[in-house]
Structures are given as structure tokens and as C-alpha cells.
Amino acid sequence: MNRINRLFRQKEKNILSIYFTAGYPGLNDTMEIITCLDKAGVDMIEIGMPFSDPVADGPVIQGSSEKALKNGMTLSLLFNQLKEVRKRTDIPLLLMGYFNPIFKYGVEKVLETCNKTGIDGTIIPDLPVEEYTDQYEKLFTANGIINTFLITPQSSETRIRYLDSISKGFLYVVSTSATTGIKKSFESSHLEYFSKLNEMGLRSPRLTGFGISGKGTFDQACLYSEGAIIGSAFVRVLEDKGSLHENIRKFINTFR
């Protein structure tokens, strides 16, 4: 069973998924960050593939992507860094990023390498769903890789139900139409959107992302979904002075 599916079978609430950009803050920090997150008790990790034009990301993740590229991070190097990751952790791992680097590397080659490495899934916000189903779904299935679909406040009920019907893992609930970033709390319009999703009786589990920055927004998100994804707030922590391990441990403990 794919580790993503196993996680949602074993844990129904308060799932904590963490995003970070590979190659940031240091080129060779990827494995250490994954190891620290695992020891700190996160449930899932999203490894960001840095890209030169991250249009859906806020300034924090954009900055981390820019620095990672300057450090020399590439998809090929990332796979090399991750080749023994399954000796370190057994929690679900996903690659998250834009389609351009995947297309250039070769979609089939990426998926085969993910399978060999032990990567469980992908989140590719700019890959059109129709293109995925028409051209790539069979490749994902053949390699046991789950592609995660995003739903937004602008998604129609018909569209949401369609994505739910073809999802093989979880749905990524984008809390806002803005770029990624940090919020102190969700507004009533966000909560109405979350409530609407609950009332739809969707079959796929959901994780809420965009704007989850502290215990308050994490707990709010978990009231309406199986868990939440934290990105920008965590990426900021990686630049803090002191021990990387200790900084990560303290940050994760605030959500537990």
C-alpha cells in the first residue's frame, strides 16, 4: 500500500504535513531536514522542487526557491540526495513543484526515479488535470505514484466532485485564492468554504494548505479536514540561527 493511503487509514485527524524547498537554506540540507522532521513527529513531508518562476508562491517560498537555485539545486541532484532516504524514514514523501522541471527531466524518468527512490506522490499545481488523465495517469499508476489535486474557493461543485472521483490519495484544499503565505486566522468566508466541503460528503480525505502558520490556524483547519500543510512558516524557521535540529523540533512541538 502506498504510504500516503496508509497514513490516512491509520490517522484520521490532526495530520501535520510540512513543506520545505530542497536545497534551502544550504544545498546539502535536504536529508538533514527530512530526518529532523521525522524525529520531531510530522506525519508527511512535501519536498519542494525549486523553480525560477514560482508564480503561485508567496515571497517566503519564492525567496527560498531563488536561493536554492543559486546554491545549485537541480532535480537530478535532488534525486541523488534522496537515493537512500528510505534508510532514514518511512513516512510519506511527496515532491511538490511546477511541471516545467519535470517535463524537461522527462515525466516517465521522474516517475520511475520516484518509484525507485521511495517517493510516494507528487503535487504539481500547474499540470492541468485533463492533461494528467489523458497523457500521464497510466505512468503514475504503473509506478505507484499518487498525484494530488488542488481544490480552491473558486472550484465549482462539479469540478470538486470530479477531482474527488479520480483522486487516489488526498485532496489539497487551497484555503485562499491568494499566493502562499502566513495568516493569523481564517476569515468567515474561508470557514464557510471549509464547511461547504464537509457538507459535500467527499470520499477523499483532505489536507488544508496556504496560510497555516501557527497552532490557531492549524487547529481551525483540522476542524474541517483531516489535517493541514505548513509551508512558509516552516521555511522561515530554516533561516533561524542556532541548531537546525533544535529549531525544527521547537517549531513542530508548537503544533503538538
* Chain segment 29-83, per-residue pLDDT in tens: 999 999 999 999 999 999 999 988 766 678 999 999 999 999 999 999 999 999 9
Query: Degrees (nearest 5) of the Cα angle 200, 208, 205?
Result: 50
Query: Degrees (nearest 5) of the Cα angle 202, 146, 167?
Result: 20
The number of distinct structural domains making up the chain is 1
In a domain, 256, yes or no: no
- Give the model's pLDDT for residue 184: 58
- Give the model's pLDDT for residue 179: 47
CATH of the domain at 26: 3.20.20.70
| Sequence-separated contacts (24+) of 109-115 with Cβ below 8 Å | 110/75, 111/139, 111/140, 111/142, 111/143, 111/145, 112/143, 113/79, 114/143, 114/145, 115/143, 115/144, 115/145
Least confident interval from 72-76, 130-134, 188-192 = 188-192
Share of the chain above pLDDT 90, in %: 87
User: What's the burial of 46, exposed, middle or buried (CB within 10 Å: 0-12/13-18/19+)?
Assistant: buried
pTM above 0.85, yes or no: yes
Question: In this structure, how many other beta carbons lie within 10 angstroms of the beta carbon of residue 70?
Answer: 12
In a domain, 141, yes or no: yes
Say if CB 161 and CB 192 are below 8 A apart. Answer: no
The whole-angstrom separation of Cα 213 and Cα 232 is: 7
Q: Which residues carry out catalysis?
A: 46, 57
In a domain, 235, yes or no: yes
- Residue 253 confidence (pLDDT) above 90: yes
Cα distance from N-terminal residue to C-terminal residue, the chain: 27
Alpha helices in 50-148 (DSSP H): 59-71, 75-81, 99-105, 107-117, 129-131, 137-142
Please confirm whether the linkage preceding 50 is cis (ω < 30° from 0): no
Residue 96, domain extent: 3-251
Average model confidence (pLDDT) for the chain?
Answer: 93
In a domain, 247, yes or no: yes
pLDDT band at 211 (very low <50, low <70, confident <90, very high): confident
- Give the model's pLDDT for residue 9: 97
pLDDT band at 177 (very low <50, low <70, confident <90, very high): low
- Give the model's pLDDT for residue 56: 62
Query: What pLDDT, in 10s, does the model give residues 110-125?
Result: 999 999 999 999 999 9
